[in-house]
Homo-oligomer: A and B are copies of this chain.
């Protein structure tokens, strides 16, 4: 058997303080009044012994592991660390830690991850995967674990929902370009059915007041370049492009550079997300920041409401606004 160290247990604290384990427990958790003198002796004993309560034992008995499960595609995608940090900003001070699982967007791995979260008795799950089938969440819901879905639109019984205001963000970006005097504003988007594509196209069109010019390519640097090349072949070349994410915008800028097109004088380029590189490239990218950390914080707040039992109503949907970051490219 593994060496356990000889960490003190609650019983030793009780003995040293001359009280019962019950009283030590209550002094620690505040669920029942403890006389000031007793409390002081207990705190002294804890200090003297270097006692640290065993969270695992507490979790087993109390039915709360003080752990939140975060299921995401890939922590290596810079959006998710910010999300995780935002969650921790709110949940950490309340005593919760996170267990993060990467699924690579694979459905089998997603299901395995959710299973594991149940096994680990997490107190809540935040789930950040776009295309998951609703039924995959069912076992978690049945286990009585609050679930929060990040991104996606699918309303579902027992699942709170949180996402960026994609339509509003696209509209704001478009209006910004109009306000800067650009007149032929195109939109380079990813595949129409993927992620927030539909909402962003909708916002673009609302702000424009007409269908505009929409090129569907891929959500990547190459996709952005390809979309830009197509736009350059048009009879009337646009004087501004809104790209559905920053990687695409960087691809569009690549093409502009190759064609010696001055940005932002001859062509404005905007992105979405505000990845780290946005401020590192030249010209610096003007973009709609996907407020990952704010989303994480909002998620933490929602979960805390569920965990504390303050909120027992039907699923809620919260929409987080994006933020315009004006730099050099538009």
A137 at the interface (CB under 8 A from B): no
| Chain A, range 259-279, C-beta contacts under 8 Å to B | 275-277
Question: Which chain B positions have C-beta within 8 A of A55?
Answer: 119-121
Given known A-B contacts A76-B81, A80-B81, A60 and B52 have beta carbons under 8 A apart? no
- Measured in the bound complex, the distance between the Cα atoms of B221 and A277 in whole Å is 12
By the criterion CB–CB under 8 Å, are A254 and B281 in contact?
Answer: no
> A220: shortest Cβ distance to chain B, in Å?
12
Answer yes or no: A17 CB below 8 A from chain B CBs. Answer: no
Residues from 1 to 32 in A contacting B, C-beta threshold 8 Å: 1-5, 7
User: What is the oligomeric copy number?
Assistant: 2
Distance in angstroms between the alpha carbons of A312 and B102 in the assembled complex: 31
User: Nearest Cβ distance between residue A307 and chain B, in whole angstroms?
Assistant: 9
Q: Chain B residue with minimal CB distance to A141?
A: B5
Q: Is A115 interfacial (CB-CB < 8 Å)? A: yes
CA distance A52 to B112 in the complex (A): 11
Asked if A97 and B101 make an inter-chain contact with CB atoms under 8 angstroms apart, the answer reads: yes
The 0/1 profile, CB within 8 Å of B marked 1, for residues 141-166 of chain A is 01111000000000000000000000
Chain A contributes a number of interface residues (CB within 8 A of B) equal to 57
Q: Which of B1, B56, B88, B221 lies in contact with A121, CB distance below 8 A?
A: B56
Complex Cα–Cα for A75 and B277 (A): 17
Complexed CA–CA distance, A306 and B33 (Å): 44
A contact residues vs B (CB 8 Å cutoff): 1-5, 7, 50, 52-57, 59-60, 63-65, 67, 74-76, 78, 80-82, 84-85, 88, 97-102, 115-116, 118-121, 139, 142-145, 221, 250, 254, 257, 275-277, 280-282, 309
Contacts A/B (CB < 8 Å), 27 sampled: A1-B63, A2-B144, A2-B309, A5-B142, A52-B119, A54-B60, A54-B119, A56-B56, A56-B60, A57-B60, A67-B99, A75-B75, A75-B84, A76-B81, A76-B85, A78-B276, A80-B81, A85-B102, A88-B102, A97-B101, A97-B116, A100-B100, A254-B282, A276-B277, A277-B277, A280-B280, A281-B282
